A and B are shown apart, each in its own frame.
Chain A
Amino acid sequence: MEKTLKKYGLVFTLPTLAAFSLAFIFPFIMGIYLSFCEFTTVDNPKWVGFSNYIKCFTEKDSQFLLSLRFTAVFAVVAIVIVNICAFTLALLLTKKIRGTNIFRTIFFMPNLIGGIVLGYTWQQMLNAILLHFETTINANAKFGYIGLILLMNWQMIGYMMIIYIAGIQNVPLELVEAAKIDGATKWQTLRKITIPMIMPSITICTFLTLSNSFKLFDQNLALTAGAPMHKTEMVALNIVNTFYGTVGYEGVGQAKAFMFFLIVAAVGLVQLTITRRKEVEH
């Protein structure tokens, strides 16, 4: 069968491969090369070695490092809060009470609304609240930070909750029953049975919140657009601003993008190995 199929190889793979090369493979390879060049379009690259990378850290106040720090602090807090809230909700919603389905439906809904629309919706509401204190979200970086955390929670909790619910429902009932017979308290059952059994869900959820927090762009652009003074500018937004904000900085933007990719990959890998190690075999 493989032989006959092989003759049709191009029919099966060409459309996807053509589009994939265009959208990913070529731009990725060009991107690595361009990060070592000075250019304004892809047609006029001039090799400059590592100077773009040096510029990333020496440009005015080194906004890139500030953005990286802001993103990291944001990601850590977001991961912790989102996962604790989502897991608690999942526990409550697996207790078989009335209306579980409606609750689940509503908690998940914000996840489907896109980042731009979501960002402006929250901007409006937070500004309306801050109006009482005669200020706006753009006045203070703290407001922007808290706003981003709230927004991220609003969007991600429902999504993670769904994954945790699926995990909790897969915990074998016999185990929970056995613990009960042995006299385990609810807290002990949760600590010693439920949490170890749903470690795979925890791995997935922390990974998803981590990569979504790091790559956050639309929400950041809509809620604060980096105001005030780039203080709430996350890495993704900083890179896009570098590319399209200052002429002549395209190479620096590309260098930042490449480092951003390496950081995302490395952080993701570390997180996966740590949580995977804690998973138990059924």
Chain B
Amino acid sequence: MKKKEKIIRERMSFRDKVLFVVLSILVTIFMYPIIFIINNSFKGKFFISSNPFSLPNIETFSGIRNYTTGLAKTGFVDATIWSLFITVVSVALIVTFASMTAYYITRVKNIVTSALYIIFVFSMIVPFQMVMFPMVNLADKLHLNNPVGMCILYLGFGSGLSVFMFSGFIKSIPIEIEEAAMIDGCSPIVNFFGIVFPILKPTIITVAILNAMWIWNDYLLPYLVIGLSTEYKTIPVVVQMLVGSNGNRDMGAMMAMLVLAIIPIVIFYLACQKYIIDGVIAGAVKG
């Protein structure tokens, strides 16, 4: 009997080994596009198209020259700073104001707040192209065509999903805690930031990550609102400018910039992997 069990266990582990190998191959295939651009970013620009899959050798290796020309051409450093600024400030605004709004429309029940809730949810399914043109016109008129203006627009665009997610969580918080604080004479503001906001922490992380992900990668909104002629370009905009321009493409610089655009995301992902994956699950289940 014992012997039989042992055989089964060994067979299981053999099956697991096969599975492990299969998954390893799949993962390598999955990683290949990234390996491909990293590999080519170290080759001289004239060698990329002739031999795209080989490793750089003495003849084709160009060191970090692609990176330096790419950086000089695109203003990538500035773009990183503006991308970071817009993402961080927008997420801070969204977390603060969307949670306050969600709190109010969940705790005060009347026709107006119920209608607002429905409009917030409704806005999630509307494609961007529907509001694009009038919105860009309005933003121009109100002089929002700068990084600060972008943050305000992102607060508007991000509030649908965010208010929805915060409302879902606030509904589950027992109201007694807040009532006790209220009797002690706290104003609603102190009450909200002192008591409710800390309880919201898991949802705050989810909302922050979901919004940071799309704002960081968003191309169309900054391209249309800020445009190409200012110094406030974000990473997706400069990548599109460098790579999307027809004619004389510098393949080497392009590969190098693609690598640089991916690096911050990978670092951010590896640093807060657990929160990101939990956030995505929570966001999907509620949305």
Q: Which residues of A contact B (CB under 8 A)?
A: 1-2, 4-9, 11-13, 15-17, 19-28, 30-31, 34, 41-42, 89, 92-93, 95, 97-99, 102-117, 120-122, 124-125, 128, 131, 154, 159, 162-163, 166, 200, 204-205, 208, 211, 214-215, 217-218, 221-222, 225, 236, 239-240, 243, 250, 253-254, 256-258, 260-261, 264-265, 268
List, sorted by A's number, 25 A–B pairs whose CB atoms are closer than 8 Å.
Answer: A2-B108, A4-B187, A20-B120, A20-B123, A22-B138, A25-B119, A30-B134, A31-B134, A103-B23, A106-B27, A111-B280, A114-B261, A117-B217, A120-B239, A121-B262, A125-B33, A125-B52, A162-B280, A200-B285, A221-B244, A240-B129, A253-B129, A257-B130, A260-B127, A268-B125
- Report yes or no: B244 in contact with A222, Cβ–Cβ below 8 A: yes
A4 near B188 with CB under 8 A, answer yes
Residue among A13, A28, A111, A218 facing the most chain B CB atoms (10 A cut-off): A13
Shortest distance between the CB of A146 and any CB in chain B (Å): 15
With the chains together, A31 CA to B128 CA distance in Å?
11
Cβ of B67 under 8 Å from chain A: no
Contacts of B16 in A (CB 8 A): 95, 97-98
Residue of B37, B188, B236 near A5 (CB, 8 A) is B188
The residue that B37 contacts in the complex, of A95, A116, A124, A211, with Cβ under 8 A, is A124
Given A2-B108, A20-B159, residue A8 in contact with residue B31 (CB < 8 A): no
A275 to B262 Cα, complex, angstroms = 36
Given A5-B107, A113-B262, A253 and B133 contact (CB-CB distance below 8 Å): yes
Chain A residue contacts of B128, Cβ below 8 A: 215, 217, 236
**Cβ < 8 Å to A, chain B residues 86-145:** 93, 97-98, 100-101, 103-105, 107-109, 116, 119-120, 123, 125-135, 137-139, 142, 144
Q: Is A116 a contact partner of B104 (Cβ separation < 8 A)? A: no
Q: Assess whether A122 is in contact with B131, with CB atoms less than 8 Å apart.
A: no
User: Which of A16, A250, A258 gathers the greatest number of chain B CB atoms within 10 Å?
Assistant: A16
Question: B112 → chain A, closest Cβ, in Å?
Answer: 9
Give the contacting residue for B31; candidates A20, A106, A221; CB below 8 A.
Answer: A106
Shortest CB-to-CB span from A190 to chain B, Å, is 16
Contact A1 B178, CB 8 Å, known A31-B131, A243-B133: yes
Query: Is the beta-carbon distance between B126 and A24 smaller than 8 angstroms?
Result: yes
Q: Is the CB of A107 within 8 A of B239?
A: no
| B265 and A120 contact, CB distance less than 8 A | no
Instruction: Report the 3 A-B pairs with minimum CB-CB distance, sorted nearest first.
Output: A23-B156, A114-B217, A128-B52
- Pair A12/B131 contact, Cβ less than 8 Å: no
Residues of A within 8 A of B125 (CB): 211, 264-265, 268
B240 contacts A5, C-beta separation under 8 Å: no
